[in-house]
Structure 1
Amino acid sequence: MSSTPPKPVRERIIDLAHRWFLDGRRIDMQQLARESGIGRATLYRWWGSREVVIGEVVWRIIAEAIGRVEARDARLSDDPAGRFVRNFGTLAETVRTFEPLTRFVAEDPEYGLRVLTSGYSVVQGRMIDWVASRLTDLPDLDPRIEVRDLAYSIVRVGEAFVWSDIITGDPPQSGKATAMVELLVSAASGRR
């Protein structure tokens, strides 16, 4: 991406792609450009690839889910570690059972996982940012632990269990993802 679109244009394009994604419609860059009133070359210059546009759409879905999950859990506990683990588990289950996402991954598993879990993906990078921001709220986190490394580990463990049917053929196991995240957070907080 050599440039970025003005915010209102960016929002309009992602809104359109988001509607298509939720409806199960393929996000085609030529059609997206045409319906947005811009050239396809401009669309590619702004985003670089279809994968990035879809990643932006998926991140919007996940960010909205994070907002709902955290709002529901805000008053349930004074324990930041417990709240984070609970929210992570609820988010994992929410993502895994959200029909437009599961349909997207099922249609082309390799491509779907690349958009959702690749190190080059906007989705994985922003998930790591979200987890790292919540880990910094933990008062008893071992200061020798690099927060971004722990966040990366947590996100990868979550991906492995949430998408295990695609990765290994085992059924998706959001509960196991939550249990593993709890172990990682407990160990990092000295609560073993």
Structure 2
Amino acid sequence: MSTTPLTRALRGPSPAPKSAPIDAFRMAKSWFLAGRRVDMQQLAAELGVSRATLYRWCGSREQLLGEVIWSLNERALNETRARSRGTGRALMTRVLEKSLASIRSFEALQKFVAEDAEYALRIITSKQSVVQARLIEWTSDFLRAEIELRDDIDVTDFAYVIVRVCESFVWSDMITGAPPATDKAVKIVDLLIAAAEK
């Protein structure tokens, strides 16, 4: 996954108040939340820059949307984790249960997926996805903090499996036509963690 000026600005030290890549991100995020299509040409015009500059900052429309969607997911995940009680497997499954349900009920994301499911799922769930990569990283950190895994299990690989299970059930209506079943995802993840714990 290529690194863009926007990615560096989002992940590095706090940006200056008027950092142009951050301005593009903030505007795209506000459009996304309002249900407005994030069109790169319109975004560049609003920012007063060329499309070439905007693409240099953000990499692509897909990467920009990925950053926007991940920022919303990350905030929801962290807030849910902070509000949830317990430790270990119980905490992890509780956070997943609440988070997965909220993802499916999030209006802006629902609208985005409904407009073009294939395109949306590519941004959210593909291996090139900013969203999936960050979610695997977030899950890995959660596992390291809360779960003592067996020595023969790689944390990142295990996090990948958890993320894929969750994606499969959260977006099952778009993938297989079956109704979303976030409760099934939580049960399967709980079983996987129980089997993987020391």
The two structures have a TM-score, normalised by structure 1, of: 0.92
- Identify the residue that residue 17 of structure 1 maps to in structure 2: 28
- Identify the residue that residue 37 of structure 2 maps to in structure 1: 26
Q: Read off the aligned partner of 1:173 and give its amino acid letter.
A: A
Alignment partner of 1:35 is 2:46? yes
Q: Cα 1:173–1:9, aligned 2, differ >3 Å: closer, same or farther? A: same
Matching residue within 119, 122, 141 for 1:114? 122
**Matches of residues 65-76 of structure 1 in structure 2 within 5 Å?**
65-73=76-84, 76=85
- Identify the residue that residue 167 of structure 1 maps to in structure 2: 175
Task: Report the alpha carbon displacement of residue 137 of structure 1 after superposing the two structures with TM.
Answer: 1.6
Q: Could you tell me whether the CA contact under 8 Å between 2:139 and 2:159 is conserved in 1?
A: yes
Q: Read off the aligned partner of 1:11 and give its amino acid letter.
A: I
Instruction: Name the % identity.
Output: 45
**Matches of residues 56-95 of structure 1 in structure 2 within 5 Å?**
56-73=67-84, 76-77=85-86, 79-95=87-103
Q: Read off the aligned partner of 1:55 and give its amino acid letter.
A: G
Matching residue within 134, 138, 149 for 2:157? 149
Task: Report the alpha carbon displacement of residue 140 of structure 1 after superposing the two structures with TM.
Answer: 2.8
The two structures have a TM-score, normalised by structure 2, of: 0.90
Matching residue within 119, 137, 148 for 2:145? 137
More deviation in 167-176 or 37-46? 37-46
Which deviations, in whole Å up to 9, do the C-alpha atoms of 1:91-133 show, x marking residues without a partner? 1111111011111111101001001001101000000000000
Between the two proteins, the alignment pairs up a number of residues equal to 187
What secondary structure is seen at the aligned counterpart in 2 of 1:106?
A: helix
Q: Read off the aligned partner of 1:153 and give its amino acid letter.
A: V
More deviation in 134-143 or 82-91? 134-143
Q: Which runs of 4+ in 1 moved over 4 A?
A: none
Cα distance in 2 for partners of 1:104, 1:21 equals 8
Q: Could you tell me whether the CA contact under 8 Å between 1:163 and 1:172 is conserved in 2?
A: yes
Q: Cα 1:51–1:139, aligned 2, differ >3 Å: closer, same or farther? A: closer
Q: Could you tell me whether the CA contact under 8 Å between 1:2 and 1:46 is conserved in 2?
A: no
Q: Read off the aligned partner of 2:100 and give its amino acid letter.
A: A
What secondary structure is seen at the aligned counterpart in 2 of 1:137?
A: helix
* Structure 2 residue ranges without an equivalent (≥5): 10-14
